[in-house]
Amino acid sequence: MEFIELIKAPKVDNVILRRPLFPRIEGTLCVTGHHLILSSRKEDAQEFWLLHRNVDVIERRPSQSQFTGGSIVVKCKDFSVLTLDIGATEDFINIGDSIEALANLDVPGLLYPFFYRSLQPIVEDGWFAFTPESEFSKLVLKTDDWKISYVNKDFKVCDSYPEAVVIPKSIPDEIIVAAAGFRQGGRFPVLSYRHENGSVLLRSGQPLVGPSGKRCKEDEKLINAVLGPGKRGYIIDTRTQTLAQAAKSRGGGVEPETSYPQWRRVHKPIDRHHNLLDSLAKLIEGCNDTASTMDKWLSRIESSNWLTNVRDTLNCACLVAQCLDQDNLSVLAHGSDGTDTTLAVTSLSQVILNPDCRTIRGFEALIEREWIQGGYPFGSRHFHSVYALSASTLKNPKRKYAPTFVLFLDCVWQLFSQFPCSFEFKEQFLLTIFQHSYASQYGTFLGDTVCEREALCLTEKTVSLWSYINRPDIIHTFINPLYEPNPVVIWPSVAPPTIMLWSGLFLRWVVDQTPNEKVWIEMGEMREKETELRRKAVKLRKELLELEKGAKAQQNATPRT
């Protein structure tokens, strides 16, 4: 397939782009294979670029007054909404068709990352910065109980896991293979994080207990190996008890207590898939309507339940963290597939527990480890976002769109806003990751599983987002001026008044964020000034000492008269 078939009108003149907070742009609209480009073609060269991939849904509004042309409302996955006014009816239809076709293009090989080449030389290739081997080698060297296993070579055991996984040393591969058969999607329990006190966090898919109550000795053996004799652990299920029980009829279920006597099961429900998307859609709808009066707005935000979801997720992650840190107990976390809320919980508890995850590189490693290698299907989940939900024409039953990753980023932002000095990165970093996870010129968030990514040869054909972010001149812009390494566990507050709406993300396109940014810049300047003055003080003090020494020496040298 060629792009030319999809692009029905490559160039249209006299198009007006309107969006809140920005001045309107009038000029020529070009539709390329990957971008929508609007250029004013004037001295001041106002240009606007939009990736087709970023388009969530479009709405066509034929002009009421002039009978020709109309407006195309482009609703993007980053929540922005823009309006294109097109004069001629033919152009109006063609542009609409082209955008719609290109935005829904489902051929991975045609996506922009495969065409994009970095202009800057790549200093450090992000594709190889965070391999499982390098991430876990320290852990494996430090302890005797864990090993990096290649049981999943060629993705034979589980297609959503990477080839290298960390499992208990004492467990032979056959047991793993057997245990994988007992878990949803073959996602057998693997190590996600080992806390400094030795307690570990595992994640997996749900056990395939089924209506008949099957059990699997190998699976029991595998997870009991983690605990050691006489110790107990926790299984944290991210579904409600009823949902988990109901899953039995479809072959899933929960670990029965009789077969797992060393484990105690706790349910900490977090909304999933369409519920979550629904909630986010309501939130965005409320946020975009800032004109509404005070008496409706707050309850509208509240009734979207998004903040409750954030709180639930934080709550669950805190529980995991509490088990690991306070009670010194190991935890196995899973939901049903083990690819969504499970990952949000395991990664969030690492942010709470592990100071490394609060640095820029550490956070990148976390996302790579838990989300990308962990098998979060970015390709499917981020294929559409909130606006597509309301446009029923685009409902695609094959794919499950869900903003679980956005939920995770929001939780991290809550932590960040409660502990602004403990994170090396600032809000902009999270926003950048959010943006690229939906539409990007980088290949990092393409595909659903590691297996799929290998098949697409992403490492050769595309550039990694981390290669870009980790460039010294770019990473510099993400550094939080207030950062001071904080080695302790950060326990957040989950009281409702402390869970805030992330205005930098949800209100970015409707409320001007510059004052906030200015304050951050000011803080950076103050911080710099402070360091500079401190340095100066140290220097002066040294000078003083030397002068004193010199004076003394002189005193001693000159004999008293």
Partner 1 sequence: MIKMGSFRSYVGLEEYEMKIPRPVNSAFLQPKFIKGELVIAEAENVLKFTSMSKKKGLSGSLFVTNARLVFVSSDRVCSEDSIPLLSINTLCYYEESKGSGGKKTKRKVKLGPHAIDSSAAMSSTFCSASTRIHELLVICSNFRCLRFSFKFSLVDHGQKICNALIHWSFPKQPEKLFYLDYCRALDVYNYGNPLPLYEIPGDWLREIKISRTIGYRITMANMEFKVCESLPETIVVPANLSDVRLTSLSGKLKGSRPPFWVWGDFNGSAILRMGKLHNESDSGAENQFFETLRKAHPQKRKPHIYDLDSTFSIKEIRQSMTRLFELCCSESLSNLEDMDSKFLSQLEITKWLSWVSKVLQVSQEIAESIVNLNDIIILQENESRDISCLIGSVVQVILEARFRSITGFFSLIQKDWISTGHAFHSNYMHTSPVFLLFLDSVYQLCYQNAFEFEFNEQLLSDIWDSCFDPTAGTFLFDTPTQRKHLDLRKDLNVWHRILSKEGSSAENENGPVGYRRQFPQVHTIPKCLVNPFYKLRPILCPPHSKSFRNNHPPLLCCSHSVADIQLWNALYLDRTTEPIDLNGGGTKLTLSSPTPHTKNMHNLSPRTPSPGGSYVGSTSSSPSPIRGSVFLFSKNNQTSDPESDSETIVCGGRNFVNEQKLVDLLLVASSTSVKHHNSTSSITTSSRRGDLTGLSHPFPVVPPRFSKTGSSNTRINPFLDLG
Residues 6+ apart with CB under 8 A from 83: 17, 18, 19, 71, 72, 73, 74
Q: Binding to partner 1 by residue 302, rule CB under 8 A?
A: yes
Within residues 478-537, the interface with partner 1 by CB under 8 A covers 482, 484, 486, 488-501, 503, 507, 510-523, 525-527, 529-530, 533-534, 537
Is the CB of 174 or the CB of 522 nearer to partner 1? 522
Residues 6+ apart with CB under 8 A from 426: 416, 478, 479, 480, 481, 520
Q: Which two tokens stand for residue 205?
A: 């898919």
Within residues 134-153, the interface with partner 1 by CB under 8 A covers none
Strands 47-51 and 25-31, sheet pairing: unpaired
Is the CB of 155 or the CB of 438 nearer to partner 1? 438
Question: To the nearest whole angstrom, how small is the minimum distance from the Cβ of residue 159 to partner 1?
Answer: 31
Question: What would the 3-class secondary structure string for 86-105 be?
Answer: ECCHHHHHHHHHHHHHHHCC
Q: Measuring CA to CA, which residue among 199, 241, 240 is closest to residue 332?
A: 199
Which secondary-structure segment (H or E) carries 14? strand 11-18
Question: To the nearest whole angstrom, how small is the minimum distance from the Cβ of residue 297 to partner 1?
Answer: 4
Binding residues for partner 1, how many (CB under 8 A)?
A: 103
Q: Evaluate the CA torsion angle 478, 479, 481, 484 in order and state its sign.
A: positive
Is the CB of 152 or the CB of 322 nearer to partner 1? 322
Is the CB of 147 or the CB of 264 nearer to partner 1? 264
* Sheet containing strand 25-31, strands side by side: 47-51, 35-39, 25-31, 11-18, 81-86, 70-76, 55-62
Within residues 88-117, the interface with partner 1 by CB under 8 A covers 116-117
What values do phi and psi take at 538, rounded to 5? -60, -40
Q: Binding to partner 1 by residue 264, rule CB under 8 A?
A: yes
Residues 6+ apart with CB under 8 A from 350: 192, 193, 201, 357, 366, 370
Displacement of CA 293 from its chain's centroid (Å): 33
Question: To the nearest whole angstrom, how small is the minimum distance from the Cβ of residue 530 to partner 1?
Answer: 6
Within residues 223-242, the interface with partner 1 by CB under 8 A covers 232
Is the CB of 34 or the CB of 183 nearer to partner 1? 34
Q: Binding to partner 1 by residue 542, rule CB under 8 A?
A: no
Question: To the nearest whole angstrom, how small is the minimum distance from the Cβ of residue 196 to partner 1?
Answer: 13
Question: To the nearest whole angstrom, how small is the minimum distance from the Cβ of residue 550 to partner 1?
Answer: 21
Is the CB of 311 or the CB of 334 nearer to partner 1? 311
Question: To the nearest whole angstrom, how small is the minimum distance from the Cβ of residue 55 to partner 1?
Answer: 12
CA dist., res. 495 & res. 307, Å (int): 11
Displacement of CA 78 from its chain's centroid (Å): 13
Within residues 151-190, the interface with partner 1 by CB under 8 A covers none
Using the rule CB under 8 A, which residue among 83, 118, 170, 459 binds partner 1?
118
Is the CB of 385 or the CB of 441 nearer to partner 1? 441
Q: 25 pairs with which residues across the strands?
A: 17
Is the CB of 395 or the CB of 518 nearer to partner 1? 518
Within residues 68-87, the interface with partner 1 by CB under 8 A covers 78
Residue 558, amino acid? T
Is the CB of 66 or the CB of 498 nearer to partner 1? 498
Within residues 15-54, the interface with partner 1 by CB under 8 A covers 21-23, 35, 44-51, 54
Buried b (16+ CB within 10 A) or exposed e, 114-139: bebeeeeeeeeebbebbebeebbeeb
Using the rule CB under 8 A, which residue among 318, 332, 345, 351 binds partner 1?
318
Binding mask 418-457 for partner 1 (x = CB under 8 A): xxxxx-----x--xx--xx----x----------------
Return the DSSP state at 559: P
Is the CB of 4 or the CB of 45 nearer to partner 1? 45
Question: To the nearest whole angstrom, how small is the minimum distance from the Cβ of residue 53 to partner 1?
Answer: 12
Residue 13, amino acid? D
Q: Which two tokens stand for residue 479?
A: 């550094």
